[in-house]
Structure 1
């Protein structure tokens, strides 16, 4: 897992498997764990976190049920591709692109209402 860190707070009321599931889901959805990136084995992650293997296995089962990871014999557990039409990446990506677009539109003299309507129209046209 390319430098991504999962931590478990044993004093938390949130069960350890849920802490693992939530953290890995967040790492996947934000793109910090990339598609096809290999995750540690259940035993390895359990040993790293000082937990029972069943705890990590439950987190992995729930992530697999949510289609965030996939496990294949011989290939290990890997980050699954996002479902069609889904983009998992940093929200900063869209913010940065939007700022560039708004700066471009403003430099051309377009008003906010005109730009917003153009964006809405583009989304409607895309769905047609």
Structure 2
């Protein structure tokens, strides 16, 4: 994996969620391409200074979301995001939202809180898939 991910040990966000969100964003943006192999659980855990179980949980969550596929003797590879969703448009909208939030003085934690609140309030809307 040529793209760097980082864990902020001072953040209140759990390590597995920091890693999951960064990898999901990289896959969604196309920085990690379909078929690209992710590091082994142990290698990534060592590189980030976190427990292997944390990386394993992250990979399981990404697999449940359809972003990676893990197979014995093959490892964990990126799978193409679903074609039905124009991820580039979603990524662009997310970037606009973050710029707007920062222009209004929100820090990263407040931006995450706003997204989490939006996820909760739109959960039961028609056409909105349930989270896993």
Q: State the distance in 1 between where 2:63 and 2:86 align.
A: 18
Structure showing greater radius of gyration is 1
Which residue of the partner structure matches residue 71 of structure 1?
70
- How far 1:87 moved relative to its partner? 4.1
Which residue of the partner structure matches residue 124 of structure 1?
none
What are the ranges of 5 or more consecutive residues in structure 1 without an aligned counterpart?
93-128
Number of aligned residue pairs: give it. Answer: 91
Which residue of the partner structure matches residue 34 of structure 1?
33
SS at match of 1:45: helix
Which residue of the partner structure matches residue 109 of structure 1?
none
SS at match of 2:66: coil
SS at match of 1:57: helix
Q: State the distance in 2 between where 1:29 and 1:81 align.
A: 9
Change in CA separation of 1:36 and 1:87 when aligned onto 2, cut-off 3 Å: farther
Q: State the distance in 1 between where 2:21 and 2:81 align.
A: 17
What are the ranges of 5 or more consecutive residues in structure 2 without an aligned counterpart?
93-132
CA deviations 1:40-75 (Å, max 9, x no partner) are 000000000011100111111110100000001111
Q: State the distance in 2 between where 1:55 and 1:73 align.
A: 19
SS at match of 2:13: coil
- How far 1:81 moved relative to its partner? 1.9
Change in CA separation of 1:71 and 1:64 when aligned onto 2, cut-off 3 Å: same
CA deviations 1:71-110 (Å, max 9, x no partner) are 0111110001222423445867xxxxxxxxxxxxxxxxxx
SS at match of 1:78: strand
Q: State the distance in 2 between where 1:31 and 1:84 align.
A: 13
Which residue of the partner structure matches residue 82 of structure 1?
81
